Structure 1
Amino acid sequence: MGNKNKLQRFAENLTFSNLFQYRYEEVVNGFYLKGKWKQEFFKNNHPLTLELGCGKGEYTVGMARRYPEKNFIGVDIKGARMWRGLKTAREENLRNVAFVRTRIELAEYYLGEKEVDTLWIT
Structure 2
Amino acid sequence: LTLSLLSEAPIEIESLHDGIDFHSTITRTRFEELCDDLFRSIFEPVEKALRDAKMDKSSIHEIILDGGSTRIPKIQKLLQDFFNDKELNKSINADEAVAYGAAILAAILTGDKSDATKDMLL
Scaled by the length of structure 1, the TM-score of the pair is 0.30
Task: Tell which has more relative contact order, 1 or 2 (C-alpha 8 A, sep 6+).
Answer: 1
Scaled by the length of structure 2, the TM-score of the pair is 0.30
